[in-house]
């Protein structure tokens, strides 16, 4: 969300043998370490007794997807995908813009479409999954530069005023012209039809890519606020009314629109940004018209408003706890997997924000099947996950820790230590192998591995080219619920 100052007021044990990869096998390690999109693509779900719904692969193993957002200003390149994959991540969230893809009504821009296709082609080869994000900020370029969002030809503001605040872009959502534009987008039959048609045509162009996980149907939805937006009760009521009414109707239309062209993709709905303030969503459940089991998910964002506005995180403030409580009820009620589409502080170098990153990674282990941090870039600060040399930004170390990408069990938890990490889960008793990824930022020379219960063993593949390694955990058939512990120590 990336809020600013005004928004603060507004939004309130058995040891396994280390198995090195023979030199003759190094050429095949890259593909085997990362698998392929078909290996990682979730084909189903499983719901645990606590109501949490996991994504599962073709073997029935619980998937863990981690990665990053790419640049929203059409600057992402195939080289970005190369570096994301090399660091051991399996997922990218790719923002796309209606205004860039359809600058004039009725025809997709061929150059922009080719750019997206090239990125998907590269992801196909790298074994990455791609979540296409229909992005908007303050509706569209008529109000906020950068060519994000709804095109000018689909913007109706009734001639109402818009006064931008150079210090607080998010405050633009409360301007009369922007409020009117959202009302028309939700309510006008022709705009509804044009938006749905755009989604269908883009889905038709992108379908067939092995890397295409699916679509985040509308980034950070917003809408009319009748009354004083400075009153938290007014904002909460407006958010609830939007989610129960206009936004729910939009999601139904867009689910149907994508399904006219693609029955394979996963479709994710977002709540309003108030979930970040501990306000549970009022979205209803949705029906997926695809044949077979539904492929729908929930994609909230995980931002602390005070941190977004420049404060260092205060652990005593209860943000992570409030957010976790607010975000878990809806997906449990509707059996939806959770993928956190955006999260991360604007300055992870500050001590409170460093702790916030650690706490968020740990919290998402408990309620999310995947996440994409904001965002993949190099820089000396801001949201860039990498420093200018391409190493993890100071404070972002836990993001680059090892993680279980496919696990035959439940209750998966990862604890990062200074010298490695410990991964735990409860086995499902089938004896299927689990897979963990070893990002080179945390394990530049591989890992020594210890695993329990007795009879379990680990096989480690460490590429010679500096890319992420893989740990495969071979489990004996055992009683369901048996505790599995994998201890990874940096070599």
**Best CA proximity match to 211, nearest among 367, 37, 365, 399:** 37
The last residue of a domain, from among 400, 423, 445: 400
Helix ranges (H only) for 270-385 are 305-308, 319-334, 351-367
The answer to whether residues 124 and 91 belong to one domain is yes
Kindly report, residue by residue over 355-383, the tens digit of the pLDDT: 999 999 999 999 999 999 999 999 998 99
The answer to whether residues 64 and 203 belong to one domain is yes
Query: Three-state secondary structure along 213-237?
Result: EEEECCCCCCCCCCCCCCCHHHHHH
Kindly report, residue by residue over 88-115, the tens digit of the pLDDT: 999 999 999 999 999 999 999 999 999 9
The answer to whether residues 314 and 168 belong to one domain is yes
**Which pLDDT score, from 0 to 100, does residue 148 have?**
87
CATH number at residue 336: 3.20.20.80
* 427 in any annotated domain: yes
* 409 in any annotated domain: yes
* 8 in any annotated domain: no
449 is in which domain, residue-wise? 13-34+405-491
* 100 in any annotated domain: yes
Categorize the per-residue pLDDT at 18 as very low, low, confident or very high, splitting at 50, 70 and 90.
very low
The answer to whether residues 413 and 395 belong to one domain is no
* 76 in any annotated domain: yes
- Asked whether residue 23 carries a pLDDT value surpassing 60, the answer given is no
Tell me the average pLDDT across 325-340: 97
The answer to whether residues 316 and 280 belong to one domain is yes
The last residue of a domain, from among 382, 400, 418: 400
- Asked whether residue 26 carries a pLDDT value surpassing 70, the answer given is no
The answer to whether residues 286 and 184 belong to one domain is yes
DSSP class per residue in 127-156: T-EEEEEE--SSSSTTTSSSS-SS-GGG--
Categorize the per-residue pLDDT at 38 as very low, low, confident or very high, splitting at 50, 70 and 90.
low
Asked if residues 227 and 266 have their Cβ atoms less than 8 Å apart, the reply is: no
Say which residue, 206 or 166, is predicted with more confidence. 206
* 324 in any annotated domain: yes
Q: What is the dihedral of CA 359, 365, 371, 375, to 10 degrees?
A: 20
The answer to whether residues 355 and 339 belong to one domain is yes
Tell me the average pLDDT across 129-157: 94
**pTM of the predicted structure, to 2 decimals:** 0.92
* 49 in any annotated domain: no
Residue with tokens 């506005």: 309
The last residue of a domain, from among 400, 425, 451: 400
The answer to whether residues 190 and 276 belong to one domain is yes
The answer to whether residues 409 and 396 belong to one domain is no
**CA separation for the pair 437, 474 (Å, rounded):** 15
Phi, psi of 372 (to 5 degrees): -130, 115
Asked if residues 345 and 356 have their Cβ atoms less than 8 Å apart, the reply is: yes
The answer to whether residues 438 and 396 belong to one domain is no
Name 374's Cβ contacts closer than 8 Å, sequence gap at least 6. Answer: 2, 68, 69, 342, 343, 344, 383
- Asked whether residue 346 carries a pLDDT value surpassing 60, the answer given is yes
| Helices 176-187, 246-259: crossing angle, 10 deg rounding | 50
**CA separation for the pair 452, 378 (Å, rounded):** 39
- Asked whether residue 311 carries a pLDDT value surpassing 80, the answer given is yes
**Which pLDDT score, from 0 to 100, does residue 29 have?**
28
The answer to whether residues 208 and 128 belong to one domain is yes
The answer to whether residues 371 and 464 belong to one domain is no
* 483 in any annotated domain: yes
- Tell me how many domains the chain contains: 2
Which helix H or strand E contains 487, and what residues bound it? strand 483-490
CATH number at residue 480: 2.60.220
Helix ranges (H only) for 188-282 are 189-206, 232-244, 246-259
**Best CA proximity match to 447, nearest among 486, 490, 415, 418:** 490
Kindly report, residue by residue over 255-308, the tens digit of the pLDDT: 999 999 999 999 999 999 999 989 999 999 999 999 999 999 999 999 999 999
Asked if residues 251 and 286 have their Cβ atoms less than 8 Å apart, the reply is: yes
């Amino acid at each position: 969300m990336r809020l600013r100052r005004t928004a603060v007021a507004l939004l309130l044990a058995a040891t396994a043998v280390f198995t090195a990869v023979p030199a003759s096998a190094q050429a095949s390690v890259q593909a085997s370490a990362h698998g392929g999109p078909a290996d990682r693509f979730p084909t189903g779900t499983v719901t645990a007794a606590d109501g949490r719904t996991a994504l599962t692969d073709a073997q029935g193993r619980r998937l863990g997807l981690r990665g990053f957002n790419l640049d929203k200003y059409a600057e992402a390149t195939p080289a970005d995908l190369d570096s994301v994959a090399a660091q051991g991540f399996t997922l990218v969230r790719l923002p796309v813009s209606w205004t860039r893809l359809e600058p004039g009504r009725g025809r997709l821009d061929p150059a922009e479409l080719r750019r997206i296709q090239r990125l998907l082609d590269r992801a196909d080869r790298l074994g990455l999954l791609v979540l296409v994000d229909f992005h908007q900020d303050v509706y569209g370029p008529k109000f906020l530069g950068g060519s994000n969002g709804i095109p000018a030809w689909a913007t109706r503001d009734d001639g109402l005023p818009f006064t931008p605040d150079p210090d607080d872009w998010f405050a633009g959502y409360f301007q009369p012209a922007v409020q009117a534009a959202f009302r028309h987008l939700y309510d006008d039959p022709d705009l509804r039809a044009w938006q749905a048609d755009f989604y269908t045509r883009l889905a038709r162009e992108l379908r067939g890519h092995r890397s295409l996980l699916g679509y985040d149907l509308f980034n950070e939805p917003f809408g009319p606020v009748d009354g004083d937006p400075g009153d938290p009760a007014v904002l909460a009521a407006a958010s609830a009314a939007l989610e129960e009414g206009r936004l729910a109707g939009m999601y139904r239309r867009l689910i149907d629109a994508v399904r006219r062209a693609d029955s394979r993709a996963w479709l994710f709905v977002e709540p309003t940004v108030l979930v970040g303030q501990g306000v549970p969503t009022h979205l209803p459940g949705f029906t997926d018209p695809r044949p077979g089991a539904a492929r729908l998910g929930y994609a909230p964002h995980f931002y602390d408003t005070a941190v977004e506005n420049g404060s260092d995180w205060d652990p005593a403030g209860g943000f992570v706890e409030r957010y976790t409580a607010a975000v878990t009820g809806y997906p449990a009620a509707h059996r939806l997997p959770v993928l956190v589409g955006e999260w991360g502080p604007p300055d992870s170098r500050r001590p409170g924000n460093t702790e916030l990153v650690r706490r968020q990674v740990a919290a998402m282990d408990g309620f999310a099947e995947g996440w994409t941090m904001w965002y993949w870039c190099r820089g000396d600060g801001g949201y860039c996950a990498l420093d200018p040399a391409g190493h993890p930004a100071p404070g972002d170390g836990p993001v680059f820790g090892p993680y279980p990408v496919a696990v035959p069990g439940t209750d998966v938890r990862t604890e990062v230590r200074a010298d490695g990490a410990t991964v735990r889960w409860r086995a499902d008793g089938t004896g299927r192998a689990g897979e963990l990824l070893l990002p080179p930022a945390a394990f530049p020379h591989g890992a020594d591995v210890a695993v329990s219960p007795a009879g379990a063993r680990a096989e480690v593949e460490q590429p010679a080219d500096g890319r992420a390694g893989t740990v495969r955990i071979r489990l004996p058939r055992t009683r369901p619920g048996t505790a599995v512990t994998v201890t990874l120590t940096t070599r």
